[in-house]
Every structure is written in structure tokens, then in C-alpha cells.
Structure 1
Amino acid sequence: MRYSLVGLCIAFCLGILVGVYLKIPFLIFCLLTFLFLIFSIIFLRQNTKFNILILCVTFFLGAAVLKNSQILPNFHIAKLIPYKSDSVSLIGVIDNDPTYQNRRASFILKVEKLKINEEWVKTRGKVLVRVFSAEGGSASGGKKNDFAYGERLFLSGNLYRPLSFSKGEFNYRDYLRHQGIYLILSVQKGNIVKQLDKNVGNPLKSFAFQMRHKMKVVIIKNLSPFSAGILSAIILGERQNLPVYVRDVLVKSGTVHIIAISGLHLGIVAFIILLTLKIIKIPRKPRYILTILLLIFYCLLTGANTPVLRSTVMASILLFAYFLKREINIYNSLSLAALMILAVNPWQLFEVSFQLSFLSVVSIVWLSPKIKSLFPQKVNKIPWIGFLISVFSVSFAAWLGLLPLIAYYFKIFSPITILANMIIVPYMTIIVASGFSLAMIGILIPSLTSTFAASNELFILILFKINSSLIAIPGAYFKLPSISFVYVLLYYALLISVFNSSKIPIITRIIGRNDKQAYALL
């Protein structure tokens, strides 16, 4: 089957949905998975029956994985104490890169021990820790109360259940629960915070975060707060210092994706790495392996969120295929990336970032060659016009694919997005390349940073001016009222029916070529 993984991915996702909405015990889904697996082995040589049974296995496996994620062990911290308690003491290891905002440090703690009734008991689970009146509010700190990934801490404070406030379709309690976080520890000024050990975490992850901090220090020291906030968001995924009005402009123009590390950024970084390695004459096969390893490192450096994980998996598959000199099926590689992410955390299926990330790629790969084929072949063969048509096709395809979800979640309709992305996406290559050059030169040769800083200031100012000018055009964007999800489903049904129509001329050769072009752009 050409798209075998696509069917398995859809079945797995449907199983997750069933697991959420049907109150069927975990063991029942496990039993059904096992039974259908036995039947699939029995009918191994009967292709049709085997394929149907394997889809059933994957479906029930998806439901079982979801149900398993809802089961907490008896010694999980969420079961050992009430959701609101008096002061408690914990020992655990910091599991992410701490963030600082308004004299408050926030990080995820993997709990190891909990003090109950003057006795320490072993436990597990994640807790979101907020240390108030924390010093060291910047990456350039090094102050007494700075925290770091991999530190083992003794903490005292108040544990409470996350508030269930909502903003539109976003629910904060569900958001944390989907990350395996059921409790928040509030550590006020005067509570005990003591470091017991350090460098307990993964050494590679620790090194990635250290490099991230050094790059951030260079950016903050050499750029204005305005430019530093934008560049940190673009190349490091650090959005704490991004001005609110900048984010508002990007949302209105439909280019807010440039401040969320995704396939666009990974593609540019991969291009820069491959070009650099080629210039220094690294052989072809080692060049691809080194690029894969460096992309994995960049994934860790930026926090390894869903879009960058998806992009890293897909880029690694593509590069490994080039390493083996094999053709690659984009839909299968995308499905494999989704299966890997959902197998670890099935709740990602309900996250907006997961939905937008994967749907944007599907839209580009599926729709852009169809859109491009509508233009005359003679026009397509003219180099500069053909390039503009390709860029337009990709931008229009992504806009068509994400239009209803953007309207549903963010209540905005932005026709200007098509033009904005045609300009901004190619321009991002300059921003990312110059940003990394500034960060690395600042670390290796600090005396040369002033020249690179000036060019970065100019490039970022131009980026903001382009977006500001575009949203000033009448009819660039419209605010929308809340819409029903039924309309979202109807839109996609209409989109599929229109673009699957036989009236749209599709040439297999064109699809194959454009699939590769779309993949490269991703």
C-alpha cells in the first residue's frame, strides 16, 4: 500500500477520539487490540482482510494508549495529597528550561519525594513550580536564585489544582493535564528553596539549554529590547519578551507562525547546515548524518515542542532517504511523525499547535500542486514567473487549509495572509541566517558582534514594517464572532469535494515534482 502509514495514523487518531468520549475500561481496549492482532496474524496472507484487521488493531491501540494516559499510579503525587493543601515539602529535578517573567521563575519539577506527616515518601509525577520574587530574571543572570535544567531541589510551598479558566477554546487546566501536570506549587518569598544536586538531567539536553542561554545573552546585549524580543522568538522560541503589539500585528497579518519554531525554521536551518558543510567539503553521506544530528540538537535547544518535533522527524526521514538514495513518500513520513508524537502523548491531538502544524503541511503537499497546475504550462516555464506561481501556490494552499481552524480558534479572517506569506516566508531566510550569525559570532568572536547587530536591527525593522503596512490595507483582516465546529467540518468536506473534482487537471509528473518542492519549503 502506497499510503499505508496514512491509514494507520487516521485509525490511531480515531481510536484516541473514541477513548476520550467513550467510558470503556482500559483493559477492554487492550483485549480488543490483542484479539484483532491474533486475527490479523491468522489472515496474514489474505491482503484485504489483513489490512482491515491491522487498521482495527491500530484503532483499538489508539484508544488503549489514551486510556492508559488517564490512569495514574497509586504513588502519583496527585493521588497522595488533596488538590489544595497547607505548606508541603518536595524533592525533585527540574525537567525543562526555567523561564523568568515579572520577578517570577517557572519550571516543571519531576517529583521524587514528598513529605507527608513528617515522613518522606517516594512519589512521581510532574508539578509546575512558580517561585515568586525570584531573582535572576534574565538569561545573563548568574545570580543567587537562578535555576537550571537538571538541578535537584528541595522546595516548600503550597500545592493547588490549576484553575479551570478559559479563553475562547483554550482551557488552562486541560492544557497542563495534557502535559501530565495536575498540580501547581506556589513558592512564596520566605519558603525554603535549596539546591541538593546539579547536572542530574540528560547531558545533551543540558548542553543544548546552556547554548540557548549563551545565544540569548548575545542577542539581549547587542540588540534593542524590541529587536531582541522578536529575534529570540524566531530562532530560539523564547516569546516571554516579545512585545504584545508585535504579536497582535503578526496575528492580523497571518504570519504569527514565524515566532513559533516549526518546519519553516527547520528547513532554513537545515539548508544553512548543509550549505556550510558542503563549503568545507564534508563528503555527501557524512553531511546528511551531521545535519540530522544538528537538527535534533536544535530541536532540544528550542524546547522540542510539537511543531519542531514534527519538523525534525520529517526532516530526518527526508535526509536519511537522501543518505540511502531512496524516494520518500511525504504523506507516510508525516503520518510516522504524528504516530511517534501521539504514541508518547495522545493528548497532543487536541492541542491547537498540533492540529495547525500537521494540517498546514497536508494542505501544502496536497493543494499546492493542484493550484499550480491551474496556471498555463507556458507561464510556469518562465523562471521568475514560475517561482512566483510556486510561492503563491504554497501560500494559498496553507491559507485554504488553515482558514476554518484559524477562524474557529482565533476568531479572525485574514485575506492578506496569502500576500504576507509570499513576502515574509522567503524573507525569513535572511532573518534566521543573520540571527544565527549574530549569536554564534557573539559567542566565538565577541569583537565582531556590532556589525552583525546593526544588520539584524535593520532586517527585523523591515520585517515589522512589512507586516504593519500589510494590515493597514483596507480589508486586510476581519474580526469574527464565535463559529460552530460544524461549519469547520462542512468547509473541509466542501474543500475535499472541490479539489478532488476531475475537472481540475492534475498531471502525475507535476504532482511528483511539486511534492519535493513543497517538502523542501517545509
Structure 2
Amino acid sequence: MSRPLVILTLLYAAGVWLGSLVTVKFTLLMAISVAALIYALASCFLAWRGNRQAVFMLFLLLGLVMAGLAGEDDPGSLAEYAGRYVTLTGQVSSEPDVRLDKVFYLLETGEIVVGRERRQVTGSVRVQAQEPGRIYSYGDVLQAKGLLVRPEEPGNPGQFDYGKYLERQGIKVILHVREDNDLRKVGTGWRNPVLSAALRIKQNLVQNAGLSLSPSQAAVLNGVVFGIQGMIGREVRETFVVSGLVHILSVSGLHVGLILGGVLVLARLTGMAPGLTAPVASLVIVFYALMTGFQPAVMRATLMALLFLWAHYFGRDRDWPTTLAFAALVILLWKPFYLYHPGFQLSFAATWGILYLGPILADAGTAFCDRFSFPWSRAAAVITAIPLAAQLAAIPLVAWYYNLVSPVSVLANVVAAPLVGLLLFFGIVVAVLGLFWASLAGFVNIATGAVLDLFLLLAGFFQRLPGAVVYTPAPSVPEVAMWYAGLVFAGRFMADQEWRRKVSGYFAARRRVAGFAILIILVLAWGFWAPGSGSELAVHFIDVGQGDCSLVRTPGGKTMLIDTGGWREEFETGSGAGEQVVVPYLRRIGVRKIDVLVLSHPHEDHAAGAAAVVKSFPVALAVVSPAGGTGTAVDDFSSNEIPPAYVSLLREMVGRGITIEAAEAGDNLIFDPAVSVAVLSPGAREVRDKDSSFNNDSIVLSLKYGQKAFLFAGDIEEETQTCLVRQGGELAADVLKVPHHGSRHLLPAFVKEVAPDVAVISVGSRNNFGQPDSGVVALLQEEGAEVYRTDKDGAVTITTDGQKLAVRTGRDS
């Protein structure tokens, strides 16, 4: 059998995958596995060639067993205390993750105190401390007080499952520490001496590397050299994401390869004995991996580097598929659920692309260049082949996880690679030099700063290129499979002349082969970028926590976004629901522009996310409530009553060329001829007086498509509800977006007038307002409405063909 380790690794990974999908009694699984092991061992001794199936089954079952072990709940688990305020005592088991405004610790707990109950517990907990005054270290024993929570299942389809991500690393709960004095050191536990030394040296090197650099420069340098990303600002990180260079800020094969290459060059220059080179190089890259955190990409690169290094030392053949499989097997034996880690998948996919497609593309490029006589063309073809191969292999996974593709990343990586090598060189030299001669290290860092400035300048240049990034919906599993099958087919077709002759004969002519390839490309492109179509209108009530956000997509492809959510202090910081929830949701479902943006009123939980939306999407028209103003100019909204941050938001919209209109009762929003949208409120003078609240001035919309109607009621309270009931008109609706998150201000008369079949309450879990009110939920149900809540059901998507409704939720499965 050719390359058995590749087959065995794939079977083991399949076992882990199956083990994560099904629940099998652990004792039964162990019994079957032991029996299979005995049979497999006997088979190996008796006749390997005739009993391969037993070994295959053993590795499949081994994956099932390891997945079962990794997913087991320990007795005395911390998860049973979730939702309560506790005091935990535990030891910091890894390097703290320091961010700009917070720090995360991984604690291996030993004791928990809840009220008067004191108990010994086991398990890992992620401790989040806001704006800490002191940073603790690996091995410190800490006492932490705060709210223990279990991460919620994501409410929006396709949303990153943070809870599952942590759970696959053995972490089931998070402890939120609010006050600095609620986290203190009470002792020091046992530390792995090698890891402790690596982290201590790293801490000194990080401090020295920042000598004479600005904080932003030091943050980028430490990202490039050590993979520390927590101190890099959002705008700088966005630059690297869009330009396709963000992987440089995470230690990967590029970094390990450059470190190994540097050691080998240094060994040759110093005349180191060949017998010492391999051990010294191995120690250096393993120590570097320990310093950088042994993430999946680092582990993969380190294991492969060690195997290639020692294979060369012993004069053995180097077979990259076997080496790649060995690295994957070792990592998955240690951490089975790393199979689902984005870093693991992207690292192995890119490496496979480089090793499989890289030589093929390089040969094709040089053959093409040989037809011409351009200087350096052959070298350029070889250099370009590596990032191109990695990009082709990673495209579907990048689109799956991040909903983007960066067409400029190949060129950006070709240009950036030499600078990364320089930054690694300068960063390590300065960091080591600073241990002995700080002033000289600071002087040398002047050169480092110049290289950093050039690096950031180039990243910004590629970010600003037209079409630098294309946002795309996540591909389906069949589309991903088709992509990789296409790459394997294309690689084999280009590299194997005999196989190419057979394939060409099968298709009878090159034209048919070309046509077939073009067809595959078009199918994949359609899957990635095709907009939604059909005769249905879809309304998405997005789960933004404690806030409101609804998206209307018409059969004609038009979009209307009603409110954008908003978290506490999002107006000031610009970070929150808009950036983290709304924009990713819209990109996942393929939205490329907003035809109408409606901000029902100026409150943060409805409007703060708009800053991220207008930054990320073209917006044709913004419709706002006239609360506090009498006209449509932005200056009309500048008053003591209107939040200054909201006025700044409107000014930013004007600066982006967005038309802003104030809506009042009687207006109609015309953005798709198949859909009618009428403004029902605000408009009544008794509501619009100086004592009126922003809630009562909310824009109320009645949307009709065919025989079905939707009513979006903002945050209106009793006064406006009463006015609307008195006026009569178009209140009747099949779907009601319940006003003010289901607060107690909902009037029975208003519900009777609307008479909804479906009521959607947009509300955050564990909110401090007691919403939704239990009496309101009962009222809606008594009036015959089926009630959906975003805190329990997640996002609620309602589709209609104008005759009937279909409802699905983000937590259907």
C-alpha cells in the first residue's frame, strides 16, 4: 500500500469527525476498540497484507474514542455553576492573552466558593478581566471573583460558535471579572521548567524588541516575530485582512522556515560540525514554538521541519505527503478537536497547496516564460507560484470562515515576504541584543522601524487597490469538495503527461477539456457569488442581543435594513453589534449594498451599529425619524436632546454621499415596485411635543407583499400605540415586530388591531430590563400569535411568496 500513514491519518480524522456527531456509550466503544486492537496486532504478526482492514478499523475507532474522551464532562464540572457569582481559585496554565483593554487567563481550577458552599472542582475556565491593573504570569495561583457563564449557542445562522470553539479546547465556562481587586494572586504553583523558561525569555525579548519603537510599531513587530496580536489596533488589523497579509501576524510555516533557514546559514558560516547542526536547529525551532504558543499552524510547521531536518541528517528520502500526514496525526492525537480549528485547517490546506500545486505551477510558469526573454521572468514565476498555490488551496476555507477573498494577496505576499524576513531578523537581533546592550538595541531598532513603516505602507497600498477584497457568502460543503477535487484534477492534468493523454482522449478534444474546465469554474463562481433569486420576499430579524435589526430582501434583489442594533458604548468606540454581528451576517448571506437604511430612532441599541454598516456597504438612502428636528438637513438634528454621537453618525453618512431623509406618517418608501412600504408614524402632534420620548417618535413601517403584511413598530409605547389605534388604517399585519423588545408598554388594543399571526421580539438574553415582559408574551399568545424571541430562538427569518409564510430560526437545529 502506497503511503499507509496518509490513509491511517485520514481514517483517524474521520473517526474524530464521527465521534463529534454521534454519542456512543464510552464503555461499549472501549470494548470494541480493545477487541479491534487485539485483532489488528495479531493481523500484523500473521499477515499484514491480507488484514489491512483491521488496522483501518482500529484507526477509525481510535478517532471515535479520542473524540469521546475529549468531549466527556468531568465529574464536579464547573458548568453546573454557570449563571452564578462565584469565587474560583486556580493556576494559570498558559501564557496570558493580553489585549488593548482586557486580558484573558486560562485557569486550571481547584476550588470554587458559591455563597457558603466551598467545593473542590476540576476543569479549565477562561477568565476575562476588564482593564486590569496588573498582568499575572504562567504558574501563578489566582483567586478570581465574578459571574460564571457558559457561552451561548450562536443565534444567527453561520455565526462563529465561540462556545463550541472553547469547548473543543476543553473550556466550557467563562468567568467575567469586572473589578481589578476581584482578581489577585494567592500563590505560585508547579511550572513546567522548559515552558516557564521559554515564556520568561519571550517576555524579555518582547520588551526589548519594542525599544525606540512607537506602540503601534512594537505591536506589529511582536505580531510578526512572536504572533502576539492582542495589542494591534482594529484599523491596522483590517489593513492586513483586506490585503491578504493577516497570516503574517500569526506564526506559521513561513516564520518557522525562516528561523530554521537562519540557523542553518549561521551554522554553515560558523563552521558548526554537521553532527551538531541538526540537534541545535531542532532545539531552536522547538524553543521558538514554545515561545509562540504551539498553535496548530506552529505545531504543523515545527513537526514537518523536524522530520525534514532529520530525514536529511540520516540520508532518508523525504516524502511530503507522509510528513504532512504524520504532523496532522500527532496534533490530532494530542488535541482531537483541533480538526475543527480554523488555524489547523488553513495551515494544512495552504501547505498541501504549496507542496502539491507549487512545483506544478512553477514548472508551468517557467515553461511559459521560456517562450519570452523577459529578464528575471523564470525567477518571478517560481516566486509567484508559492503564494498562488497557497491561495488557491486556502480560498474556500477563507471564504467559509471569513466570507472574503483577497485577489491581491498573491502579489502582496510576493512583495511582503522579503520584508517579513528582514523584520524577523531585526526583531530577533534587537530582542537578544537588548538583553546585553539596550542603547545599541534601540539604535539598531531605527532600521527596524523603517522596515516596519515600509511594510505598513505596502499593506495599506494593497488594501486601497480597487477590488482588493471581495466579500462572498460562505460556500457549501459540496462546493468546497468540488473546489479541491478540481485542484487535484488540474494538478494531475498539468503534471502527468500520460494521465493527460488519457483524459484528453476521453474528452476527444482540447476544446472539450477547456469547456469542461470553464464549466466547473462557472459553477463554483456562481456558488460563491450568485445573489439570491426567486419570487419570495425574506425578512431577517437578526439576533443582535439587546437591540433591533431587521433586513428585508425583495424578490428583485433590493434590500432595506431597519435599525442596526447597538451595544453599550458602541457610539463612542465604534465596536459592537454592527461590526461583530450585523456586517458579518449581511456578508454571509450575500448582501452587497443597502438600498434603504432605516434608523427608527436615535437610541444606541437601534442605531449605533450603523457606523459599521455604512463603512462596509454602499448605502443609497438613509431614512431617519424627525425626532428633535423639523427638516431633513443634518443640522436640524443638532439639539441638546439628540445624542451628539448620533449627529456625528449622520454627518459621516453625508460625508459618504448618502442621501438622508426624515420620514413622517403618510410617506411611502419606494425601492421595489413589487413591495409597498408605508410610514405610519411619527406624525401626530400630541406625540411629537417636547415631552415626547425618542421611543414614541420611532418610525413605524407597514410593509406589504402580495396578501401578506409586516408591521415594524420600533420602540413605540402607549401614547403612540393609542394614536395609531385611534387613526385606524393599515395596522393589520400577519407579522408584528413587537415594539420595545416586548416591554410592559404593549397595549391589548394595539395587539387586537394588528392581529398578528406571528410576533417577533428582538431582545437580549439575561438583559437588565426584565424584557420581554411575561404578561406581554401571554397577551400575544392569547391573541393567537406564534411568538418568537431572538434570545431563545436566535435570528428569525420569515419568507413569503405573498400567499403564505414560512418561519425558520437560527436555533432550529
TM-score (norm 2): 0.58
Deviation at 1:120, TM superposition (A): 4.3
Please name the residue that 1:147 is paired with. 136
Q: Measure, in 1, the Cα distance between the counterparts of 2:407 and 2:139.
A: 46
How many residue pairs get aligned? The number is 495
- Partner Cα separation in structure 2 for residue 49 and residue 32 of structure 1: 21
Same amino acid, percent of matched pairs: 25
- How far apart, in 2, do the equivalents of 1:311 and 1:284 lie? 23
Map Cα deviations across residues 347-393 of structure 1 (whole Å, 9 max, x no partner): 11111111000111111111112222324559679994443222122
Aligned residue in 2 for 1:244: 234
Structure ID, larger Rg: 2
Q: CA deviation at 1:333?
A: 1.6
Q: Could you tell me which residue of structure 2 aligns to residue 141 of structure 1?
A: none
Give RMSD over aligned pairs: 2.5
**Does the 8 Å CA contact 1:438/1:449 hold for their aligned counterparts?**
yes
Offset of residue 28 of structure 1: 3.1
2:130 alignment partner AA: F
Structure 1 equivalent of residue 293 of structure 2: 303
Considering Cα pairs closer than 8 Å and 6+ residues apart, tell me whether 1 or 2 has the greater RCO: 1
Structure 2 Cα separation of the partners of residues 90 and 25 of structure 1: 32
CA 1:387–1:176 in 2, change beyond 3 Å: closer, same or farther?
A: same
Q: Secondary structure at the match of 1:328?
A: coil
- The one-letter code sitting in structure 2 at the alignment partner of 1:82 is Y
Amino acid of the structure 2 residue aligned with 1:113? E
* Structure-2 change in CA distance of 1:380 and 1:359 (3 Å): farther
- C-alpha offsets along residues 72-131 of structure 1, whole Å, 9 cap, x if unaligned? 2213333xx421113x23221111122333553321111122335646433221111123
Distance across 2 between alignment mates of 1:325 and 1:455: 41
Within the candidate set 241, 250, 255, 2:245 is matched to: 255
The verdict on how the C-alpha distance between 1:166 and 1:49 changes in structure 2, with shifts beyond 3 A counting, is farther
The answer to whether structure 1 residue 56 and structure 2 residue 48 are counterparts is no
The letter for the 2-side match of 1:11 is: L
Question: In the alignment, what sits opposite 2:388?
Answer: 396
Counterpart contact for 2:14–2:60, Cα < 8 Å: yes
Rounded to whole Å, the distance in 1 between the matches of 2:243 and 2:48 is 49
After superposing the two structures, state which structure 1 stretch, 414-423 or 3-12, moved more: 414-423
1:353 paired with 2:343, answer yes
For the pair 1:157 / 2:134, whether they are aligned, the reply is no
After the TM superposition, which of the residue ranges 449-458 and 93-102 deviates more from structure 2?
93-102
| Partner residue, 1:344 | 334
The equivalences for 1:312-391 within 5 A come to 312-375=302-365, 384-391=376-383
SS in 1 for 2:185: strand
Q: 1:121 to 1:473 in 2, by over 3 A?
A: closer
Q: Is the 2:92–2:138 Cα contact (8 Å) retained in structure 1?
A: yes
CA distance in 1, matches of 2:180, 2:428: 41
- 1:433-448 equivalent positions in 2, closer than 5 A: 433-448=425-440
Measure how far apart 1:187 and its partner are. Answer: 2.6
Q: How do residues 274-293 of structure 1 correspond to structure 2 at under 5 angstroms?
A: 274-293=264-283
| Number of the residue aligned with 1:83 | 82
| TM-score, normalising length: structure 1 | 0.88
CA deviation profile, 1:164-210 (whole Å, cap 9, x unmatched): 34785421111111111111122332755443322621121112111
Deviates further, 396-405 or 26-35: 26-35
SS of residue matched to 1:222: coil
The one-letter amino acid of 1:251's match is V
Q: Which residue does 1:104 correspond to in 2?
A: 102
1:29-44 aligned at under 5 Å gives the runs 29-44=29-44
One-letter amino acid of the counterpart of residue 8, structure 2: L
Q: What is the rounded CA distance, in whole Å, between the counterparts of 1:102 and 1:409 in structure 2?
A: 24
Q: Secondary structure at the match of 2:434?
A: helix
Kindly indicate whether the alpha-carbon contact (under 8 Å) linking 2:143 and 2:183 is maintained by their aligned counterparts in 1: yes
Letter in 1 for 2:43: F
Q: Distance in 1 between matches of 2:155 and 2:257?
A: 34
Which moved further from structure 2: 457-466 or 30-39? 30-39
Aligned residue in 1 for 2:225: 235
**How many angstroms does 1:413 deviate by?**
2.0
**Alignment of 1:12 onto 2:1:** no
Judge conservation of contact 2:71–2:168 (CA < 8 Å) in 1.
Answer: no
Distance 2:265 2:427 in 1: 17
Q: Which amino acid aligns with 2:173?
A: L
Secondary structure of the structure 2 residue equivalent to 1:32: helix
- Structure 1 distance, partners of 2:189, 2:42, is 51
Deviation per CA, 1:146-180, whole angstroms, max 9, x where unpaired?
31111122333332212334785421111111111
Structure 2 CA distance for partners of 1:122 and 1:323, relative to 1, 3 Å:
farther
Amino acid at match of 1:434: F
Deviations 1:377-430 (A, max 9, x none): 596799944432221221221111111111222111222122222222233211
Residue aligning to 1:198: 188
Match of 1:131 in 2: 129
CA distance in 2, matches of 1:402, 1:199: 42
Deviates more, 1:325-334 or 1:101-110: 101-110
* Contact 1:470-1:476 at 8 Å conserved across structures: yes
Residue 195 of structure 1 aligns to a residue whose secondary structure is: strand
CA contact (8 A) 2:83 2:148 kept: yes
Native 8 Å contact 1:111 1:124 kept in 2: yes
CA–CA distance in structure 2, aligned partners of residues 98 and 315 of structure 1: 27
Displacement of 1:46 after TM fit? 3.5
Query: Is contact 1:373-1:506 (8 Å) kept?
Result: no
Instruction: Show the counterpart of 1:515.
Output: none
Counterpart residue identity of residue 126, structure 1: S
Task: Describe the superposition over 1:421-449 as per-residue Cα deviations: whole angstroms up to 9, x where unpaired.
Answer: 22222332112111111211222211212
Secondary structure, counterpart of 1:107 in structure 2? strand
Structure number with the higher helix fraction is: 1
Distance 1:403 1:160 in 2: 35
Equivalent pair of 2:142/2:186 in contact (CA under 8 Å): yes
Name the CA distance, whole Å, in 1 between partners of 2:316 and 2:59.
27
SS in 2 for 1:374: helix
The 1:209–1:41 alpha-carbon spacing in structure 2 relative to 1, beyond 3 Å, is closer
Q: Does 1:214 align with 2:204?
A: yes
2:260 to 270, 277, 281: 270
- Structure 1 moving runs of 4+ over 6 Å: 380-383
CA distance in 2, matches of 1:305, 1:275: 26
